[in-house]
Structure 1
Amino acid sequence: MSHTAHIPSHRKPRRSASKLALRAGVAGGVLSTIAVAGAAGPANAEPVTETIEMPTLGSLDTELASAVSASAEASHQEALDLSLRAQEDAAIAKAAQEAKKAKAEADRKAEAERAEKARAEAQERASRTQARTQLSPASSSSDSGSSDSGSSYSADSSTQAPTGSAAAIVAFARAQIGDAYVSGGTGPNSWDCSGLVQAAYRQAGIDLPRVSSSQSSMGTSVSLSNLQPGDILYWGSRSGSYHVAIYVGGGMYVGAQNPSTGVVERSLDWDTPSGAVRIL
């Protein structure tokens, strides 16, 4: 055999790189498939699925806005309730204060009226007592030395109506009967004793002083037994009388007595005057 003769080699033929890569890829894919299948469990097992609902941002914003709105409304309502309660408390306190003030004022007026009534009643009692003392039989002279307050009186029996100035004075005095007595009153619907006498004499064109002590100091003293309509009757001393009235005839006089009686017509026997003066 020739040295150059072809001897078949026992080496395996080299595989190409592309075939090797192809085989490696197939093997890797098979192994991966097996691994995945094994991890997933048996081939016939159903996949387990679970759905978790997550809140969306839109629903969270809506709920938050509703909560904030409800809280704000509650706070506003509470503030309104507190304001209303405060106003009610203030109104109650004010009403109580005004009621207390009104009661105090009413009590004050009532007390003043009671005091005035008591004073007038005491004055009236004192005048009657003093008149009886001055008209006792032992008394025979007046402040002026003439027999006026000390003399006993007798009602004139004449029924003849007064005339002239006396008639105007008597008519005015009687027209005021029923009017109220008010200290310091000068008419037209309320009087005190000297206010009524002054207004009556003004009807005859005669201006008298305002107070009783000055009125009883005017004119001429006359006896109670010689009275004429229009004469001024007084209680107390002539220069210090505390009450006056107008003699209207028939043993009667008209005067503004006190707050409880007002202007009345009374008999001389009811409250005998201390004396009388004549101005006409």
Structure 2
Amino acid sequence: ARLIAARRLLLLGRLAAAASLLAPVDIAVLPPLLAAVAALANVELALRSLRVDDAQQALSQAQQAAARADVPALQAEIAEAGAALARTAARRLVDGHWQPLRLHEVASLMASGALVVDACRHALRVDDFTLPLARRPILFTLLRALAEAWPGDADRDALIARAFRTRHADETHRARLRVEVGRLRALIKPVAGIEASSRGFALRARSVAVLAPPIDGDAGELMALLSDGAAWSTSALALALGDSQRTVQRALAELEAAGRVRAIGQTRARRWLAPPLTGFTTILLLPAALPLG
């Protein structure tokens, strides 16, 4: 029961609560089947926390226990978890081009002291400082645009078009831009600055890195949820993503037309499935923590 509860918390992104449940579990005294499940939960926790060395150690324990339990389905699940370490986990912008990164490379970047604008989790990270901006999408859009332009500046009209989604900027948009940039400047003041220039604004920091999801477009988070092979309802997907059902339905229709998902059942019984994704891991697309109220 403790292991089931811990894996549920992992899916919800409540990593600290999952860690507290797993801490008292002694894998050495458990029967092989339970030991494999407990070690697999530790693998998931370490991967989600970007502790790659701990994930490798837990993976070895899971493989040994699964071999003793001799349950093919469990062995396949552990093999899939191990494969995530070798897959592309994110992309980094380098000299105007996107460079694929694996999980250990992402972990190294996070520990490098660089100011990381993380578009996988919609946050700003510098060492132990984390500024979540998932609930403030305009501020994150501005921050990402400034980071992509670093060490240069970003044009005001380009920032307005990207953040406010309008092609025709007027004085009201420019005034709003100044307000939003002021809010962003106050939030990131402990680790970076924003300076005005003749053409726009520039991010001032010693080193800046931009991380993006391994999948282009807004369908990335949707594919991350479907990649486990389970059948999802539209309402469940909408709840997990924090979007309306109509928005999710449109995204699913596009993915279905591209052959990346399939539907089973009709009307309210309809469920959506996707084959396991190859070539990249969706670890960083899963929620860090879902809002609970």
TM interval, short-chain normalised: under 0.3
Structure number having the greater helix percentage: 2
Instruction: Give the TM-score, by structure 2 length.
Output: 0.21
Structure number having the greater strand percentage: 2
User: Considering only CA atoms, is the larger Rg found in Structure 1 or Structure 2?
Assistant: 1
